[in-house]
Structure 1
Amino acid sequence: MTAEHKIQNDIRVELSKHGCTVFRANVGKVLMENGRWFDTGLPRGYPDLFGFRHSDGKIFFIECKNETGRLRDDQKRFAKFIKQYPVLYGVCRSVDDALKIIGGK
């Protein structure tokens, strides 16, 4: 089974080759040495990758899952929310899925 981290990295590399800027959204909380929590500040369910196409500036959001991965409820809520707007969004299990979302294949 392919790790989601590998799928994310493969997608980042390939979309960059197809004229996109791609960012990895690292989310979560970390307990720091001083006992305080550091929170990334992104909303729950925010997709793993986001960016834009250089050709037209169109923004995209990509949730990465491995072969058996399923969306959590917060990810489903984000998907429902973001689909109201004229942005590109999708769930990807492979580079080919991501290229279809951005219109590269």
Structure 2
Amino acid sequence: MTSEHKIQNDIRIALSRHQCTVFRVNVGSVKTPDGRFFSAGVPSGHADLYGFRWSDRQIFYIEVKTPTGRPRKDQIAFHERMTELGVIHGIARSPEDAIKIVDEGLVGYGFKQ
């Protein structure tokens, strides 16, 4: 099975070639010198990729999953908020899914309603 990381990289390349600008979201935890941990990056549940179409500068969010991957509760909460706002977003399990989401301006593609 193809890893989520490979699918994500393939999606980034495909969307970049499809006249989109795409950003990968980086997150992680950092330990401070006094031993505390803090999370760096976007809030929990934020999509893996985001960007915009060059044609109309429309923003989109892409959650990357393997063919059998399932969204976590925090990812579903992010999806629900994006749906309320009418923002283009969805789960992509392949570059073709991502292009479909972006080209068709889909809201919530791949999430079970």
Aligned residues: 103
Identity over the aligned pairs, expressed in percent?
A: 54
CA RMSD of aligned residues (A): 1.5
Q: Which has the higher contact order (CA 8 A, sep 6+)?
A: 1
TM-score of the pair, normalised by structure 2 = 0.84
SS in 2 for 1:89: strand
Once the two structures are TM-superposed, the CA of residue 36 in structure 1 deviates from its matched residue by: 4.3
Moved over 6 A (4+): none
Which residue number corresponds to residue 77 of structure 1?
Answer: 77
Which residue number corresponds to residue 39 of structure 2?
Answer: 39
Paired with 1:18 and 1:81, the residues of 2 have a C-alpha distance of 27
Unaligned runs of 5+ residues in structure 1 are: none
Matched, 1:22 2:27: no
- Partner AA of 2:28 in structure 1: G
TM-score of the pair, normalised by structure 1 = 0.90
Per-residue deviation, residues 23-80 of structure 1 (Å, max 9, x unmatched):
0001231335x23435224111000000000100000000000011100000000000
- Partner AA of 1:101 in structure 2: I
Unaligned runs of 5+ residues in structure 2 are: 105-113
